[in-house]
Amino acid sequence: MRVFVAGFQHETNTFAPTKADWPAFLAGDAFPEFTRGAAMLERLAPTSLPMAGFIADAHERGWTLVPSIWAGASPSAQVTREAFEHIAAMLLEDARQGGFDAVYLDLHGAAVAEHVDDCEGELLERLRAVVGPTLPLVASLDLHANVGARLLRHADALTVFRTYPHVDMAETGARAAGLLAERVSGGAFVTRSRRLPFLLPINAQCTLVDPAAGVMADLATLEAQSGVHLGLAFGFPAADVPECGPVVFGHGRDAEAVEANVMALAENLIDAREDFAVSLPDAAEAVAQALRAARHAERPLVIADTQDNPGAGADANTTGLLRALLDAGAGRRFPGAVALGLMHDPEAARAAHAAGLGATLALTLGRSVRCADGRDSEPPLQASATVLALHDGEVALHGPMSAGNTVHLGPSACLEIDGVRVLVTSGKGQLLDEALCRFLGVEPRALKLLVLKSSVHFRAAFTAIASRIIVALAPGPMPADPAELPWTRLPQDIARRP
């Protein structure tokens, strides 16, 4: 069998400050850079992404892959019209060449463009116009997908990550290959779905702990008992579009069984709804808690700056937690053992490279951004900084979520400000791998306190080395509570919090 394969990955926070233009996809930052044709298979096969899992499984099955494009950009505000149309045009141009028996798409499921609410649904609708309504087509999705009606209508089958942090991406791609094989050998699936009438906070979606862990266990049990292929997308609760929110769906041959198991899983999620509410300390309290605990801790204290998470559309450049560290004298209390990253500030990184290793320079670090409540975050920090390390930002990752991936963060520097080591990059990326400390000379396991700009993905690598994890609320563009966002298009019957 010959299978047409392509990937399009973007998680869109419509409230975020920066849009994803075509150069953002060319660069990739935390994603692989744009590739097309055979180079796509070579670039992605060694990674932990869904496409890698599909490639490996397809080869075992003896399938021939017909590669089109891979386009991924860091989460941000809307994909620009130009970027989306350019990506779609290339994918459709390749599809028109024909010569394949089925399609696999590696998608996110929560992409919004300037002119399209549901990018994945739009892509599938256009692709169906090229390949016809009966050609087998499956796709894998991120756990945070906002699954729209068109996506469910035009795909024969969908499968979703089941972990957050996403340590099962390649496994999900392999599962998509199994679904495709079943679709080809056994004919069309029956699909049923149910949309849930509330939003779930990002932090509460972590599948390492309840309630999300329990819901995912329910999914596995129902699937094993029934033979129905189930999917649960928690949704990305920062996309101001009508189809934002959690969706449960299922595929199978027996319509009654598919319906019954979709409804059972949906009811399990509804029963756990109130447990998804979160309550978190502000920056000053989080730092105070960490410093108290760090005096006697044998392993690092980790604070997550969740509201400036570049994995949820923020730009990773607010200074709230950095100021809290400095105000508390954290770097003086634990010299050389307090670090913060990754701070996205290309100008500061360039200044550090120009000054050189060992130099001390006056610089402006970070930005003030507009928050959901209409207020601005703390102003940029004026500071005297010493350059401790410099790097080109090409970093190979090795952690449980990211092994095999390489990120492109551009000129980067470790700056020391009043004893606090600040990891500054030109590109955006979550600090979700120990290598993203070590490339700038910081050994994470030797730290007393590490502040990182992430919400949940960091837990894959850092839970094992942390004595304690604190999620903090410093002002930023991605509220931990989705009810704080200024929604205008979300249906009124969708509750803004669980």
SS3 string, the chain, reads CEEEEEEEECEECCCCCCCECHHHHHHCCCCCCCEECHHHHHHHCCCCCHHHHHHHHHHHHCCEEEEEEEEECCCECCECHHHHHHHHHHHHHHHCCCCCCEEEEEECCECCECCCCCHHHHHHHHHHHHHCCCCCEEEEECCCCCCCHHHHHHCCEEEECCCCCCCCHHHHHHHHHHHHHHHHHHCCCEEEEEECCECCCCHHHCCCCCCHHHHHHHHHHHHHHHCCEEEEECCCCCCCCCCCCCEEEEEECCHHHHHHHHHHHHHHHHHCHHHHCCCCCEHHHHHHHHHHHHCCCCCCEEEEEHHHCHHHCCCCCCCHHHHHHHHCCHHHHCCCCEEEEEEECHHHHHHHHHHCCCCEEEEEECCCCECCCCCECCCCEEEEEEEEEEECCEEECCCCCCCCCEEECCCEEEEEECCEEEEEECCCCCCCCCHHHHCCCCCHHHCCEEEECCCCCCHHHHCCCCCEEEEEECCCCCCCCHHHCCCCCCCCCCECCC
Q: Is cis: bond before 242, omega within 30 of 0?
A: no
**96 CB burial (10 A radius; 0-12, 13-18, 19+):** exposed
The strand order across the sheet containing 247-252 reads: 190-195, 247-252, 229-233
Give whole-number Cα distances, 99 to 91, 188, 485, in Å: 14, 21, 47
Residue 378 has what pLDDT?
A: 94
Alpha carbons 197 and 56: distance in angstroms, whole number? 38
- The mean pLDDT values, 10 residues at a time, for the chain of 498 residues are 98 95 94 96 96 98 98 97 98 98 98 98 98 98 98 98 98 98 96 98 97 97 97 98 98 98 98 95 98 96 97 96 98 96 98 98 95 88 97 95 93 98 96 97 98 98 97 95 95 95
Pick one of 1.10.3720.10, 3.20.20.105, 3.30.70.260, 3.40.50.2300 as the CATH number of 2-276: 3.40.50.2300
Cα Dmax for the chain: 70
Reference 124, options 93, 100, 156; nearest CA is 156
Give whole-number Cα distances, 277 to 53, 113, 197, 211, 274, in Å: 34, 29, 15, 10, 6
Count of C-beta atoms within a 10 Å radius of residue 27: 19
Give the pair of three-digit tokens for residue 249. 């769906």
Alpha carbons 462 and 445: distance in angstroms, whole number? 9
* φ and ψ of 496, to 5 deg: -75, -15
Residue 372 has what pLDDT?
A: 79
Contacts of 42 (CB under 8 A, 6+ apart): none
Alpha carbons 291 and 33: distance in angstroms, whole number? 39
User: What is the torsional sign of CA 383, 384, 387, 390?
Assistant: positive
What residues does each domain of the chain span? 2-276, 283-480
Residue 371 has what pLDDT?
A: 87
**Residue recorded with tokens 């990739």:** 28
Residue 58 has what pLDDT?
A: 98
Reference 317, options 385, 370, 365; nearest CA is 365
Contacts of 111 (CB under 8 A, 6+ apart): 8, 9, 10, 11, 12, 79, 118, 119, 120
User: What is the torsional sign of CA 445, 447, 449, 451?
Assistant: negative
Give whole-number Cα distances, 6 to 66, 126, 373, in Å: 9, 14, 39
Reference 51, options 61, 42, 62; nearest CA is 42
Give the pair of three-digit tokens for residue 129. 């116009």
**Inter-residue contact 366 to 336 (CB < 8 Å):** no
